[in-house]
Amino acid sequence: MSAVPDWDALGFGFLPTDWMYRAQGDAARDPAWDAGHFVPFGDVSLSPAAAVLSYGCGCFEGLKAQRGVDGRVRIFRPDAHGARFARSAERLALPPFPVDRFVAMAAGLARRNDAWVPPAGKGSLYLRPMMHGTEPLLGARRPRLAGVIAYASPVGNAPGLDQGLRLKVMASARAALGGTGGAKAMGNYAGVLLHKEAAVREGFDDLLYLDGSGRLQLGEASGANLFCVLDDGTLATPPLDDTILPGITRDSALRLARDVLGLPVQQRPLSLVEVRARAREVFCTGTGWTVRPVAMLGGDGWECRLGPPKVATQLGEALADIRSGAGADPFGWTVDVAGVADGEDQ
């Protein structure tokens, strides 16, 4: 095992750990997926003609294992991540990986890399499951063969809620209507990088995409969902369609806001005009950021400054308490990795 990092210096970046997971799938089999196994972390090999390399037949997930003050390691909503992983695979013409297998894989990966789970309050172990079309293909068609690979990397805590984001509004959509925006497809993320780099050079932190309809309706950030607290106290977020990823943190925030905080919640179209006129606060949600307030929206020649985070702070603290085990888990969202067998446990 390599030396663990300085926990106080962790950022959000890749650090190799000791174990990863691999499984092989064949859509012509029943069941499609083999038993899978945990192996030492290392490079993988693919045919140069693998479907993922030419045709982008690939999807991924991101979820976190976190050590609580009681020393137990918990994963936040692995079943929901597993269900989205299966939906993404189907959208990318790949054989879906069973949700129960996904949960067992995530728990087993966290257990085997326990030394890399940061101490309570110092960060998380980020789990990255991926699925690739591995069949060698020349000519675009559904690949019969696929592989699942999952690795883990320790990451630091997200920036504090007092560090509001500056988002540049993009008139274009992040993903096309009818496309793969509702799936966690690998290609969705490559397409935002060039514009995001340009926005950072202009002093922004990220992008806020509109829906591409010409009606200036909000979509999502380059890798996070968007929420607005309106002047009547309503918490609103754009409705899901195939341009917006159904975020697990998005769903969690909606349920906490409605059922715990007692806020009126709406999933409906939000125009940029309405948000600039009525928003008390705006924030983003995602696995990496959890909850991040937005301090400013801007574009070519204009900017809109937003109020301080109040609802965002409440939701961020509630989610942090659930993830760490410091507070009640009214929805049964966390899974203790010690209690999940992965098929290779002795």
Length reported for the chain: 346
Phi and psi at 257, nearest 5°, equal -60, -45
Given a contact cutoff of 8 angstroms between Cβ atoms, the answer to whether 280 and 231 are in contact is: yes
**What is the longest distance spanned by two Cα atoms in the chain?**
63
Give the whole-angstrom CA distance, residue 260 versus residue 237: 18
Q: Which residues contact 262 (CB under 8 A, 6 or more apart)?
A: none
Residue tagged 């007692």 (tokens): 262
Give the whole-angstrom CA distance, residue 139 versus residue 90: 19
Q: Give the amino acid at 81.
A: H
Q: How many Cα atoms occupy the beta-carbon half-sphere of 202 within 13 Å?
A: 19
Q: Which residues contact 104 (CB under 8 A, 6 or more apart)?
A: 340, 341, 342, 343
Q: Tell me whether the omega of the peptide bond preceding residue 154 falls within 30 degrees of 0, making it cis.
A: no
Given a contact cutoff of 8 angstroms between Cβ atoms, the answer to whether 66 and 124 are in contact is: yes
184 is catalytic: yes
Q: Which two tokens stand for residue 228?
A: 């607005």
Given a contact cutoff of 8 angstroms between Cβ atoms, the answer to whether 209 and 174 are in contact is: yes
Burial class (CB in 10 A: 0-12, 13-18, 19+), 185: buried
Catalytic option among 168, 184, 196, 310: 184
Give the whole-angstrom CA distance, residue 239 versus residue 292: 20
Q: Is 250 left (phi over 0), alpha (psi -120 to 50) or beta?
A: alpha
Whole-Å CA distances, 264 to 75, 142, 232, 315, 317: 29, 43, 9, 14, 19
Given a contact cutoff of 8 angstroms between Cβ atoms, the answer to whether 228 and 270 are in contact is: yes
Q: Which residues are catalytic?
A: 184
